[in-house]
Amino acid sequence: MNFSFTDEQRLLRESVEKLVAAEYPFEVRRGLAASEAGFSRELWRKFAELGWLGLGIPEDAGGVGGGPVETAIVMEGLGTGLAVEPYLATVVMGAELLKRSGAARSDRLARLAAGELQVAFAFAERQSRYELANVETRAEPEGGGYRLTGAKSVVFNAPAADVIAVSARTAGGPRDRGGLTVFALDASAHGLEVREYRTMDGLRAGEIELDWVRAGPDDVLGRPGEGLDVVEGAVNSGVVGACAEAAGIMARMHRDTIEYLKHREQFGTALATFQALQHRLVDMYMACELSRSMAYMAAVRLGSPETTEAELRRAVAAAKVQIGRAGRFVGENAIQLHGGMGMTDEMPISHYFKRLILIDRQFGDADHHLREMAGTSP
Amino acid sequence: MDLVLTPEERAFQEEVRTFLRERLPPDVRERTWTGARMDKEDQVRWEKILHERGWMAPSWPVEHGGTGWTPLERYLFEEEMEAAFAPPPMPFGVNMVGPVIIAFGTEEHKRRFLPRILSSDDWWCQGYSEPGAGSDLAALKTRAVRDGDHYVVNGQKTWTTAAQHADWIFCLVRTSQEARRQEGISFLLIDMHSPGITVRPIRTMDGGEEINDTFFEDVRVPVENLIGEEGKGWTYAKFLLGHERTGIAGVARSKAQIRRIREVARSETSHGRPLAEDPRFRERLAEIEVELMALEYTILRIVSAMNAGTAPGPEASILKIKGTEIQQALTDMLMQAVGYYAHPEYPPPEPGANVAPVGPEHAAGLAARYFNWRKSSIYGGSNEIQRNIIAKMVLGL
C-alpha cells in the first residue's frame, strides 16, 4: 500500500499548478466563460503539448499512458483555477468511451490526445434523472446499421463536440439493464440537432434531439446490447474526475475565505480573530481534507485491476456522497463568511460556489449515491 | 392553552381569503408562485389594491392608516397572503421607515410621507450598510455636515435593494465624531432624485441586479428631513431592526414552498415513478416540515404573548435564524427536485427574447433561486450576529 503520489505524479501536479497560476487568473476565466466558444482553444492546444490530453490513453494509441489518478490530478488543478476547458467531457469521459471503438479506435484516440477531437456524452434523458439504464431513446436496426430516435438532456460540451456518444435502446423496456447500446455519432450527422446553452456555472451544454439518425455497425462503442457497461464505465470516470475537480474548488474556496477573514475588519479587528469563525474554518478544512482523500481513493480503485465491481461501485458512490455533502458545507459557509461580498458576481468565490453546487447535481446527487451505497435504490 | 381559532378569528380568516381570491391579479400570483422576478409596475398595481382595501400596513396605528388588528390577526393575514402567493408589500416603506416616522417623526413628516407609502406612490430603500460597515454597522462613515438649513452628505452605501426604483432612501449618517461610535449617528431621509446621488447596480451570482451601490457626492438635504434628534440615529436604527426581524421567519411562505415542491415532485420522475412517491424525498421534506412546525408554534407562542401585551424581545432572533435556514433548505430541495435541469443558465442571456426555457418549465430559475437565497442568512443582521444577540441579550453571556 502506498497512498501517496509518485515522483512523476508530483511533477504533473506541479505543472498543472504552474499553468493555472500563470495562465488562469480569474479575469481570464471570466472572459472565456463569456466568449463565443466558451473555452480557450489555445489553452487546449497547450494541454495537448503538455501531454495532459493523452493521459489515460495507452501509448500505442497515441496517448501518454497513466490512468484515473493522473487525470484526477489534472482535474483537481483545473478545479483550483475553475477552468472551463472541457477536460472532464473530452478526456476523462471521452477517452474512456472511445477506447471502446472498433476500427476507428486508434485514430480517434490519437486525435483526442492531439487536441483535435472534442467529445460529449449524451446519457441522461428527461425522465431518467440519475438512473443510467433508464433510456427511452431507441436505435432500430436498418440494413446493416441503425436509426436513432429520441431526446437527450443536459449534454455537457455538446456545442463543441465533434463526436457525441449516445446511449440508446436496441432491446428491452425503458428501465432494463440489458438491451442498451452506445453509439459514437458524428456531431454533424443528419437528423442530430443540438440546442446549445450556457449553464449556471459558466459551462456549455446542449439538449439533443435525434430524428432518425443513421449509425453504422462501426459506430457502436463496446458490444450491442451491453451498453450499460460502457455507460457505467464512462460515468464512473466522470464521477471521479468531478470529485477531484470539486476537491480543487473546495481547497481554493477555503483558502480564499481564510484570506478574506484575515483582511476584513469589523468591530476593530480582523474577522479571523473571532473563535466562532475560526471553528467554522476548521470544520471546512476537515471537510476539504476528507473530500480529497475520497477523490483519490476512488481514482485509485477505478484504475486498479484488482478492484472488484462491487468495490468500485461502493468507492465511486461513497466519494460522490462525501463530495456532495462536503461541497455544500464548504461552499455555503464560504459564501456566508464572505457576507454580502460573497453574493456578488464580481467576487470569484461566487463562481466557484456555483460550480461546486452543480457538481453535486452531475452524475447523481448525494442522496442518489447514498442509496447506491446502502443498496436501497428502487 | 388551545390551538383552535375562535369563530371571530375564523371569520377574519375567511374575509382575507375572499379578498385574495377576488382581488389578487392572476399574473401577479403566477409570478410569485414560479419565483419569477416582479417588475415595479406589477408590485405597485398590487399594493394599490391592498391600499384600497386598507390593508397595506396592518401593523400601523389606525390613525395613520393601519388596521387595528391584534397580533394574531396580523399573523393570520400574513399567513393567508403567503398561502395565496400574494407578494407582501415592499418592506422598506411599510415595515421599516414607516414605523420609525410614526414613532419618532414630526407631524409634518407623518403628513408628508406616510400617505405616499400607503398608496405606493413613494418607494423607499435602506441606506445602512457601507463597504466598511456590514455586521459592524456602527463603523459607518457616510458624513452629513450641517451647512445653513441643509446637511451636505458624502459617502457610499451598499447592498441597497431597489435603489434603482426608489424615490427616497432612509440613511444612517455620521453627523459628529464621538468617543462611542454609536453616538454621533443621525437618521436622515434623502430624496433619491437629489443631485449628487449615483446608483450602480451590483450583479449577484444568480444573475440578478436587485441590489446596488449608492454614492453620495455633496448631496444637499434639508435639515427638516432629520428624524428625531441629531446624533440619536442609532436608537432609531435599533428600533427599526426589531421591526425588520419579526417578519423575517417567513413561515407561511415556506409552507407555500413545500406545496410547490410537492407539485414539482409530481411532475418529476425517479426510478420510473413520480419523485413525489420516493421515500427518501418524502422523508427529507418531512424533516424540513418538522422544523417548520417547531418554528411556527414558537411564533404562535410569541404572538400569543404579544396579544396579551408583551412586546417581542430579542428571542425574535430565533425566528430569523431558523426561518432563513428553513427557507434555504427548501430552495435547495426545489433545486434538487429537478435533477439535471438545475444546470441551464437562468435568466437566459437575452432576457425578453421570449425563448422557451431549456427543459421543463417548472425547472426554470430554481437553481438561480437557491443561489439568490443564500443572501437570507446574511442580510438583516447575519445569522452570526443574531447568535451574538441571543448570547448577550437572552442568555446573558
* DSSP state letters, A123-135: ---TTTTT-TT--
Q: Is the pLDDT confidence value at A194 over 60?
A: yes
A273 near A232, Cβ under 8 Å?
A: no
Q: Which three cell numbers stand for residue B238?
A: 435599533
Residue B350's SS3 state is coil
Q: Is the pLDDT confidence value at B245 over 90?
A: no
Q: Which CATH architecture has domain A120-224?
A: Beta Barrel (2.40)
Q: Is the pLDDT confidence value at B351 over 90?
A: no
- Considering only CB atoms, A195 lies closest to which of B272, B358, B377, namely B358
Q: Is the pLDDT confidence value at A104 over 80?
A: yes
Look up B229 and say whether it is catalytic.
no
Q: Is the pLDDT confidence value at B241 over 90?
A: no
CATH of domain A7-118: 1.10.540.10
The confidence band for B312, taking pLDDT boundaries of 50, 70 and 90, is confident
Q: What was the pLDDT predicted at B352?
A: 57
Alpha carbons A371 and A272: distance in angstroms, whole number? 38
Q: Is B378 on the interface with A (CB under 8 A)?
A: yes
Q: What was the pLDDT predicted at B309?
A: 80
Distance (Å) from the C-alpha of residue B125 to the closest C-alpha of chain A? 17
Q: Which CATH architecture has domain A229-374?
A: Up-down Bundle (1.20)
Size of interface A-B (CB pairs under 8 A): 141
Mean pLDDT value of segment A44-60: 96
- Return all residues near A310 (Cβ < 8 A) that are at least 6 apart: none
Give contacts of B 139-198 with A, CB under 8 A: 139, 158-159
Mean pLDDT of chain A: 97
**Is the bond preceding residue B347 a cis peptide, omega within 30 degrees?**
yes
- Exposed / middle / buried, residue A85 (Cβ in 10 Å: 0-12, 13-18, 19+): buried
The confidence band for A268, taking pLDDT boundaries of 50, 70 and 90, is very high
Q: Is A176 on the interface with B (CB under 8 A)?
A: no
Query: C-alpha angle B22/B11/B17, rounded to 5°?
Result: 25
Q: Does the beta-carbon distance from B272 to A332 stay under 8 Å?
A: no
Rg (CA), chain B: 22
Residue A196's SS3 state is strand
- % of chain A at pLDDT higher than 70: 100
Mean pLDDT value of segment A242-251: 98
Distance, first Cα to last Cα, chain B: 32
- Return all residues near B63 (Cβ < 8 A) that are at least 6 apart: none
Q: Which residue has the higher pLDDT, A375 or A14?
A: A14
Q: What was the pLDDT predicted at A378?
A: 82
Q: Which three cell numbers stand for residue A252?
A: 481554493
Of the candidates B247, B255, B162, B171, the one whose C-alpha atom is nearest the C-alpha of residue B211 is: B162
- Residue of B244, B291, B345, B384 with catalytic role: B244
Mean pLDDT value of segment A333-358: 98
Mean pLDDT value of segment A26-35: 97
Q: Is the pLDDT confidence value at B246 over 70?
A: no
Alpha carbons A90 and A95: distance in angstroms, whole number? 7
- Considering only CB atoms, A332 lies closest to which of B204, B341, B374, namely B374
- % of chain B at pLDDT higher than 70: 97
* Tens-digit pLDDT profile for residues B360-373: 989 989 999 999 99
Q: What was the pLDDT predicted at B310?
A: 79
Beta strand pairing status for B269-270 and A204-215?
Answer: unpaired
Mean pLDDT value of segment B31-45: 85
Q: What was the pLDDT predicted at A289?
A: 98
- % of chain B at pLDDT higher than 90: 79
Listed by start position, the domains of chain A span 7-118, 120-224, 229-374
Alpha carbons B117 and B114: distance in angstroms, whole number? 5
Alpha carbons A40 and A84: distance in angstroms, whole number? 8
Mean pLDDT value of segment B345-363: 76
Task: Report the 10 Å Cβ neighbour count for B64.
Answer: 16
Q: Does the beta-carbon distance from B341 to A332 stay under 8 Å?
A: no
Mean pLDDT value of segment B121-134: 96
* Residues of chain A contacting residue B387, judged by C-beta atoms under 8 Å apart: 276
Alpha carbons A183 and B120: distance in angstroms, whole number? 60
Categorise residue B148: left if φ over 0, alpha if ψ from -120 to 50, beta otherwise.
left
Q: Which ranges of chain A would DSSP assign to H, the alpha helix?
A: 7-23, 26-34, 41-49, 68-81, 87, 95-98, 105-113, 227-263, 275-303, 309-338, 348-361, 366-374
Mean pLDDT value of segment A293-313: 97
Alpha carbons A57 and A63: distance in angstroms, whole number? 4
* Residues of chain A contacting residue B379, judged by C-beta atoms under 8 Å apart: 340
- Return all residues near B361 (Cβ < 8 A) that are at least 6 apart: none
Q: Which helix (H) or strand (E) holds B91?
A: helix B91-91
Q: What was the pLDDT predicted at B353?
A: 59
Give contacts of B 103-142 with A, CB under 8 A: 129, 132, 134-136, 139
Q: Is the pLDDT confidence value at B354 over 80?
A: no
- Considering only CB atoms, A371 lies closest to which of B205, B211, B280, namely B280
Domains and CATH numbers, chain B: 7-89 (1.10.540.10), 124-231 (2.40.110.10), 250-394 (1.20.140.10)
Q: What was the pLDDT predicted at A260?
A: 98
- Return all residues near B338 (Cβ < 8 A) that are at least 6 apart: B264, B268, B359, B360, B362, B363, B366
- The complex's ipTM works out to 0.96
Q: Is the pLDDT confidence value at A361 over 60?
A: yes
- Exposed / middle / buried, residue B199 (Cβ in 10 Å: 0-12, 13-18, 19+): middle
- Lowest-confidence pick of B7-11, B38-42, B271-275, B289-293: B38-42
Q: What are phi and psi of B345, to 5 degrees?
A: -65, 140
Q: Is the pLDDT confidence value at B171 over 80?
A: yes
Q: Is A267 on the interface with B (CB under 8 A)?
A: yes
* Residues of chain A contacting residue B281, judged by C-beta atoms under 8 Å apart: 367
Of the residues B325, B343, B387, B389, the best mutation for testing chain A's interface (the one with the most A CB atoms within 10 Å of its CB) is B343
Q: Is the pLDDT confidence value at B36 over 80?
A: no
B66 near B60, Cβ under 8 Å?
A: yes
Give contacts of A 189-218 with B, CB under 8 A: 195, 197-201, 205, 207
Categorise residue A301: left if φ over 0, alpha if ψ from -120 to 50, beta otherwise.
alpha
Mean pLDDT value of segment A256-270: 97
Q: Does the beta-carbon distance from B378 to A358 stay under 8 Å?
A: no
The confidence band for B238, taking pLDDT boundaries of 50, 70 and 90, is confident
Distance, first Cα to last Cα, chain A: 36
Q: Is the pLDDT confidence value at A228 over 90?
A: yes
Q: What is the largest CA-CA distance in chain A?
A: 79
